Structure 1
């Protein structure tokens, strides 16, 4: 069902992007052959996405990325223990990028450091236990 469709990145990566990225922090899901995992959409462009994951993605895996009421299909082209890059098989539209920006304004997740600060404040005030 899932076949390798995109060439994996070469070592001669120059750091230039084909299009600008929209920085987000939206709850998302990545549907892989091995199952679905909850993730955070960190940024999105017309041709790709950077995703924060709780379990490492595998290089070359194909995935459906779902956020809000949107979805797209692509392949993992780089991965670390906590993040991965998804190259999209079909570019998304400018309109979808704008709708994602609007969604980010109302559904944006707090930054990790903000969550840590809130937990520390609650603990210092005796409202939470570690």
Structure 2
């Protein structure tokens, strides 16, 4: 069994998991995927791939990825993926300041309408032929 500090350790029980619904990007060698950052911890994050927007097969477990959200960027590995939801283990720790900043981003995102606002903007772009 992996120790909590080993690179392949199971981090699913990380107590500092921040629940979010922030738009993000997952970049792999095969392309860039629009995703929703579902939660974030010091050692990883859970994402949902936007299957409609990506128009390509989902990234595959084992792929090296760069996750970008807000002004943050972390290199990691996609550890698992099931029904468009996956987990990323980061190479570097998400700092307490980055977690706090992400929590503030989430508060602002919700205050500004969150996902409903994103859907309205996407619909307006589609109507203008910019999807």
What is the 5 A alignment of 1:48-127?
A: 48-53=44-49, 54=51, 55-108=57-110, 109-110=114-115
TM-score (norm 2): 0.70
Q: CA deviation at 1:56?
A: 2.5
Distance 2:12 2:34 in 1: 29
Distance 1:96 1:89 in 2: 15
Q: CA deviation at 1:16?
A: 5.1
What is the 5 A alignment of 1:27-38?
A: 27-38=23-34
Contact 1:56 1:81 in 2 (8 A): no
3-state DSSP class of the match of 2:27? strand
Distance 1:30 1:61 in 2: 11
Aligned residues: 102
Which one has the largest radius of gyration? 1
What runs of 5+ residues in structure 2 fail to find an aligned partner? 1-6, 52-56, 120-131
CA RMSD between the two structures:
2.2
Contact 1:50 1:86 in 2 (8 A): yes
What runs of 5+ residues in structure 1 fail to find an aligned partner? 1-5, 116-130
Contact 1:78 1:86 in 2 (8 A): yes
